[in-house]
Amino acid sequence: MAPPVTRLSVNLNKAALMRNARGGGRPDVAHLARLCVGAGAAGVTLHPRPDGRHARAADVEALAALVAESPAELNVEGNPLEGPRTTAGYDFPGFMALVRRVRPTQATLVPDAQGQRTSDHGWDLDRDAGRLAPIVGELRALGCRVSLFVDPEPETVAAAAALGADRVELYTGPYAWAAARGEPGPETERHRRAADAARRSGLTLNAGHDLDLDNLGPYLAAVPGVAEVSIGQALLADALERGLARTVRDYLAVIAAARPA
């Protein structure tokens, strides 16, 4: 029996960043989400940071209302330890307060520090497991699927399972950079081992960061069992040339063509 095709969630943070640079409502993040879902994306992702530089609480609420009317999923990423904060007139309610309000399909917990430009490492579960355990339990009680953003290390994957997470999202940045250098082998092997640990631990596997039309297919062909990829920067950059709906379909075509080794 063939494994299910990997699902695509489109991260729209960079669209919100463009809007915020000029103010007003263009581009309309909710409208772009509708285009993505209409083109076949299984869901949309937002990562609202406390400084409000791109996706904001209102965007999360708008997309939650959108997906409630469709089979699409909403994935909200962020650091659950971030509380309320006001920056330049933007009131961030705190990650957990926002998630309690909208109850997204999936909450992906990411260890970003305040002001961090982008996610660049996974959780240190030797240090953070005690703080995360009650949060994971609360999110699951709210009906949210819980994914932990982790580096591709088997021990960390097993620790995520012990915390009660439903999924892990493997951080694919170093893989993407190695693939760009023409040397993906060692990073690909790290991800294979992490994927095997996820399977043994009963975790579903997500992946994301710096995946694009060139490196996505080889990654999915080499790393078994990836249920979902979350892609934003590269997909939106491609959409400037190809158009958004066509770009979503192009990524879906790459996903459909990938066959695990």
Up-side HSE of residue 98: CA atoms within 13 Å toward CB?
33
Distance CA 204, CA 225 (A): 8
The pair of three-digit structure tokens given for residue 219, joined into one six-digit string: 């990654």
Distance CA 191, CA 230 (A): 16
Distance CA 206, CA 6 (A): 9
User: What element of type H or E holds 46?
Assistant: strand 43-46
Residues annotated as part of the active site: 47, 77, 209
Distance CA 57, CA 158 (A): 32
Q: How many Å is the Cα radius of gyration of the chain?
A: 17
**Degrees, nearest 5: CA angle 13-140-216:** 40
Tell me which residue has tokens 């994971």: 136
